[in-house]
Each structure stands twice: as C-alpha cells, then as structure tokens.
Amino acid sequence: MRSIINGFSGRVLNPCEHNCSNRPLDNSLQDYFLNTVLLSSTMTVWESILGITGFKKSYNFILFFIFAGGLFGFTLSRLQYLDITGRYASGTAPGEWFHQHTGFRKVGITLHLGTILPCAILLIFQFIPSIRHRAILFHRINRYIIITLFLISNAGALMIARHAFGGGHDVQLAIGLLVLISTSSVGMAYYNIRCLQIEQHRAWMLRAMFYMGSIVTIRPLQEITSRIINKLGTYYAVWSCEKIDFTWKFYKIPVSYLVAYPMCAPPSNGSSLPPGYDPVAIVKADDNGVEPAQIGANLSMSFGLALWLAMFMHIVGVEIYLQLTPRESQRLRMVSYERQKEAGYANP
C-alpha cells in the first residue's frame, strides 16, 4: 500500500486512512522531519554566532560566554556604584564607609571604581577574535586605554587596602598580592606582544583576565563563608567606638550605640581619655545580627577567606586551561615565527 507524504506537514494520503496501524509511522516521520528542520535551524544560528564573533571552535565560544559574560554582567551591576556618595555608600558593607567617606581613601575608592569598571568592559572586547582581526586599530588603541585604567585602578585599590573590610593582615596581603600578579601579567602581556611572541601574549592576557575575575568569584564565596562563620561558633572583631557610632548614625538607628556597647561610654568620673587613646569595643560577628556593626564584622571576617579562596581557584584554573589547550599555543607559535621572520628578527 503506497503512501505519499505531503511536504513536512506529516499528512499521509492513504486509501486506508483510518487504519490505526499507519498512525505510529506517520507520527514518527513527522517528528523526524520536524527535528531535522529544528536541528538545521539551530546549527545555522550557531554557525552565524561563531562567524560573527570569529571563534573557530565551539568550546572556545562557550568558555568565553561563561567567563566573559559573567564578568560583563557583574560589571554592569556595579556601574551604579559610580555614585560614590549615594549608591556605593548605601550598598557597601557596614563600617566600610567610615574609612572611605572623606579624605585620602575616598579618593582611592573613587579612582578604583571609576577606572576598573570601564576597564573590565573594554577588556572583554580584546578577547573577541573578529575584533582582533578586523578592527586592528581599535584593538591596539583599546589596549593602551585598558593598561592605563588598570594601573590607576590598582593604585586606588592600594590606597583603600589598609582598612578594606576591616583591614586585617590577611586582606591587606591578599589585595597586595592580587595587585602584584595582575599588574605583572599585564606587563608581561604587553612586553610579549611588542616582541611578537603572540602565544605568550595570549597566555599572560588570559592570566590577567582570570586574576581580575577573582573579584567576581569573591561574592558567592563570601556568602558561603559568612554562613560558615555563623555555624562554626562565636567570632568577635575589634571596632573603634568612633566607627560603631558612625555606623549606627549612618543607618539611622534611633537609640544610642552605648546601649549595646557600654564600654564606649566616657569615664563616669568625668576625666578625659589619655592622649592617643582610641577606645574600642568587642563586636560579635553575626550575619543575622540585630545591629549593623555585627553584620559588618561578619562580612569583614568572611571577606579575607573568600578572597584567598577565589585567588587560588583562578590562579590554578587558568593554568589548567592553558595546559588543556596546547594546540592553540602551537598554532600561535607558528604565527609568531612568521611575523618575527617578516620583521627581520635574527632568531625568530
């Protein structure tokens, strides 16, 4: 018995149209043709995306989409913090604004945020192959803009490091190390591209981007570590009474901070404090605290741990990726050889 399939509609012209035994075959043919059309359309769209961006391998684009997309989304969400005295002041951890609301460190946080956010956005364009190949002038100009913004942002980070999230030695050391390795990576990337060593330039630029991206990973890690601190037991931090007073007033708590921290009260006999004496109080680190100082103490303790974990993950992760992509390094090494030969290098 002959059947004629009418296009992709799945309709079967059959004299025994009401024969139930033919229906499963008709449905399977319909599903087959529909799946074929959908798969073909999907592959066409995917190939178009790869063609526009310039990626030759799908897994490279997927990795770029995950990491660069995460960095881009995080940066966009932080653009509101360019309003330093408004959105940033109200969005930062309790106690942070005490050190940054005026003077030297306000300049530092303004420099850092005002340069690192546009730097992160511009950096993403450097990793799009179609821009590197078709917009060479933009790629080169963008490189110098990124380096300038990046160095200024690192200077701003060092300016605020002394009191960032409590200013513990672990935080100061981590910030200093992150500034050192990221700046060194950018410097090595620039040096190697000037020497036409493209495979080395790629490796150092990837390292620089991954090191910068550790700031994104800190956020979920800090959420985890802050809860771990609550679960493990009771932890305490030392805050100056002036900092506690400022924090309570900033969050407009209607009662005096002396209710929770009586040790900050002036001497009852009316005597003055010794010169250079800075009264302090013990603050419980509690993410579910009833007042802002406790929440700020918890975030300060968790930040250092999260920062070190994020740096470790990104430092190791980028080296693993470089080891898993040796063919790309070999290909770029051959390109470097040809360009060095054309440039007249004695030992390309």
**What's the mean pLDDT in 214-236?**
90
User: Is 249 part of a structural domain of the chain?
Assistant: no
The reply to whether 103 and 24 lie within a common domain is: no
In a domain? residue 182: yes
122 and 104 in a common domain: yes
- Above 90 in pLDDT, residue 317? yes
Do residues 117 and 18 both lie within one domain? no
Average pLDDT of 198-227?
93
Token pair recorded at residue 99: 């050190």
- Helices (H), ranges, the chain: 23-53, 58-78, 89-91, 96-100, 103-125, 129-134, 136-160, 169-194, 198-232, 241-250, 292-324, 326-342
Cα separation, 312 vs 306, whole angstroms: 10
CA distances from residue 336 to 133, 193, 200, 280, 342 in whole angstroms, order as listed: 15, 10, 10, 60, 10
Same domain? For 159 and 308 the reply is yes
106 with 113: CB under 8 angstroms? no
CA angle, 277 as apex, 274 and 283 as ends, to 5°? 135
Do the domain assignments include residue 123? yes
Residue 21 lies in a domain: yes
Compute the distance between CA of residue 150 and CA of residue 164 in angstroms, rounded to an integer. Answer: 19
* Helices 103-125 and 58-78: angle between axes, nearest 10 degrees: 150
This prediction has a pTM of 0.82
Residues in the chain: 348
Q: Are residues 224 and 130 in the same domain?
A: yes
Cα–Cα distance for residue pair 343/335, rounded to 1 Å: 12
Query: Does 23 reside within a domain?
Result: yes
**Do 39 and 128 belong together in one domain?**
no
Same domain, 11 and 111: no
* C-alpha to C-alpha distances, 222 to 105, 227, 286, 287, 299, nearest whole angstrom: 23, 8, 13, 11, 7
Query: In 3D, which of 328, 315, 320 has the Cα closest to residue 201?
Result: 328
| The pLDDT of residue 160 is above 90 | yes
Pairing of strands 280-285, 4-5: unpaired
Q: Residue 288's pLDDT is what?
A: 87
Whether residues 103 and 203 share a domain: the answer is yes
| CA terminus-to-terminus distance, the chain | 73
Q: Give the domain extent around 14.
A: 4-44
Question: Same domain for 27 and 126?
Answer: no
For residue 287, give both structure tokens: 């993410």
Q: Are 127 and 209 in contact (CB under 8 A)?
A: yes
How many structural domains is the chain composed of? Answer: 2
Domain for residue 254, yes or no? no
- The residues, ordered by sequence, that sit 6+ positions from 280 with a Cβ below 8 Å of its Cβ are 238, 239, 240, 241
* Structure confidence at residue 29 (pLDDT): 65
Do 70 and 92 have their domain in common? yes
Assigned domain for 271 exists? no
**pLDDT of 270 over the 80 cut:** no
- Inside any domain, residue 77: yes
**pLDDT for the residue numbered 21:** 47
Same structural domain for residues 85 and 8? no
Instruction: Provide the pLDDT confidence category of residue 37 given band limits of 50, 70 and 90.
Output: low
Q: Are residues 31 and 154 in the same domain?
A: no
